Structure formats: structure tokens, C-alpha cells
Amino acid sequence: MELEQAQKLWQPEPGWLNTASYGLPPEPVWTAVQDALADWRVGRTSWEGWGEATERSRAAFAGLVGVPVADVAVGSTVSQLLAPVAAALPAGATVVVPEVEFTSNLFPWLVQQERGVRVRTVPLAGLADAIEAGTDLVAFSLVQSADGAIAPYAEIVAAARAHGALVVVDATQACGWLPFDAGLADVVAVGAYKWLMAPRGSALAYLAPSLRERLRPDAAGWYAGKDPHFSYYGLPLRLADDARRFDISPAWFSWVGTAPALELLAEIGVPAIRDHDVALANRFLAGLGRPPGESAIVTVEVPGAREKLERAGVRAAVRAGRVRASFHLYTTVDDVDLALEALTS
């Protein structure tokens, strides 16, 4: 599907520049969720159809990030999906993380400090150089939530491999607009409610087969079973042989919306979305006299930004006087120009 054709599936109010907080659902997502809610309200259907959306989502995500579907686990949040990785670190392990890292990819490592796990923070630009002998794991966001900085993924992976360190990536702010190969890392976790435009409550993770051998599925339930529908009752323990053993029981309506969102992204193609998003981000930067960048998330400092944007009806994140604007496939030139007019008036 051409991007211009796909854009007709959204009807956002003008001025939404905040996908880095949450994405907007296209019509197929909205309709699927409303239909499921209507069926639930009156008991019109059984739940199995809602559950099938989870498997559609798993397959679509695997295709988007270039990994086998058997290596994808489903959950509800990034931190929950990272928890078994953190718990499997050896006592006294060393973890290296950027200084300004979203805490979903920081707190799971910090809570292991009582076992002697040491977390060392360094500037993102120096992350690869900070990986050294004795580093057990490096964790970072592929795109930083705070300012849209894109991590040097291949460089960090190469440094980690040279020293035998695991690589854990939070791709929540990247997946859906930035093409990347999840298989380079050991773990790539994604919350689906931002650039994947799904309802909040669904998350996915690539878990490399070699890593899974070290992990214990402490949250295992019926959905982690080899055949979930024959895992309702009783002994013995019979978990899936692949990444599904780390699944948690899906929040049905979140996944009902996640599946069509991911399938639409796959149909449009992430490279085309990246080109659109970054072009709009650079139009915004140029309008403020800033040099172009490569990210769909940008931050700029403008005096009185919050009040100016609110008066114009523009919704963007403003923190400590800095505007964080984010641009996705439903963003238009008119949205960008509305924000520029507000900030430069």
C-alpha cells in the first residue's frame, strides 16, 4: 500500500506531534477494537478469536524486525519482558547503560544490585567504547525517548561481541519508523503503543535462542504451554520449546488492535515511513533554523514553548522549556507548519 493511500485511514485533529508519547490508531485498529468490545458487552462470541490476534501480531512483528517467529515472545511491557534476562545475570555481573536511559531498560538491572550486579552509566556517544573486558551486558534504547538520538547500533554490537557481552535493546521509540535488524542483538523489546500504534498493553520481544537457554520463565502460565489449549490444568510442566515459553496471557483487546496495526505497517513498509517521518522532522528543524537530522523525534529549546503550542492547539511534549516533537505517517505538512507558526510568532 502506498503511504499516501494509507494516510486516509487516520483522522487526527490538526497538531498531533506526540507519537513518542502514544501513537494514533488507523481505522482498521479502531474498528477491530470496537467490534471486539461490542461482542464482549453482550457475550456474542467466544474468546479464542481475540486470542488469535496475538499470534497474528507475533508473526507481523517478526517480519518487521527480521527474525524467526519462533524467537518472539509476547507480553505487556518492556520491563516485564526484560525481567527474566535481568534475573539470569550472574551475581556480580556488570551492566553498561547510557546516562539518560528510559527506566524500563534501567530498573530491571538496578533491582539486581542486591545480588552484586553493578550498573555503570556512560554518555550514549561513548557507549561502545565503554564496553570492556568484564562487561556482561550492555542495554540501550535504539532511539532515545528524551531527545530522539539514534544509538550506533552496529558499533555497539561489534564492541559487545568483541568482549563477550550480551546486547539488550529497547526499540520502543524506533520500531515502526526506523528499519533495523533485531537479530544482531540478543534481546530486542518493544512496547507497541507508540510507533506501532497499538492499544497500550501489548509488547513484544525478540529473544535469541542461545540466550533463552540461560533464562527461567518465572511468569509461566497456561499461555506459555507447548499447546496453550491443553495447558489449562494439572501436571506435568509442559512449556513451549521456543520463545513462547516466556509469553504471558494476552490482554485480549490490546492484541485485537495490535494485529491490524502491525500488518498495516508491514504493508506500507518501514523504509517509506522513515523517509516520510524524517522529512517532516527536518522541515520542522529547518523552520526553526536548526540543522537537519536523521530521527523522527527532535527536541528544540524555544522560550515560552508550552504556552505558544497550547494556544495553537498543537500537542507535543514540553520538558524544561524544550519541545519534543515527533512525526509519524499520519503527520502532515500542515501539522508541522502549524507548530512552526506557533513557535516563531
Burial class (CB in 10 A: 0-12, 13-18, 19+), 13: exposed
In eight-state DSSP terms, residue 295 is -
In angstroms, the first-to-last Cα distance of the chain is: 38
pLDDT, tens only, 294-324? 999 999 999 999 999 999 999 999 876 699 9
Q: What pLDDT is recorded for position 320?
A: 65
**239-288 pLDDT, tens digit each:** 999 999 999 999 999 999 999 999 999 999 999 999 999 999 999 999 99
**How would you write 179-241 as a 3-class SS string?**
CCCHHHCCEEEEECCCCCCCCCCCEEEEECHHHHCCCCCCCCCHHHECCHHHCCCCCCCCECC
CA–CA dist 203, 291 (Å, integer): 34
Mean pLDDT of the chain: 97
Residue 96 DSSP SS3: strand
% of the chain beyond a pLDDT of 70: 99
| pLDDT reported for residue 146 | 94
Query: Residue ranges of the domains in the chain?
Result: 3-25+269-344, 48-266
Domain covering 48-266, topology: Aspartate Aminotransferase; domain 2 (3.40.640)
In angstroms, rounded to a whole number, what is the distance separating the alpha carbons of residues 35 and 49? 12
Pick from 3-7, 195-199, 205-209, 321-325: least confident: 321-325
Q: Could you tell me the CATH superfamily of domain 3-25+269-344?
A: Aspartate Aminotransferase, domain 1 (3.90.1150.10)
Q: The whole model's pTM is what? A: 0.97
pLDDT band at 157 (very low <50, low <70, confident <90, very high): very high
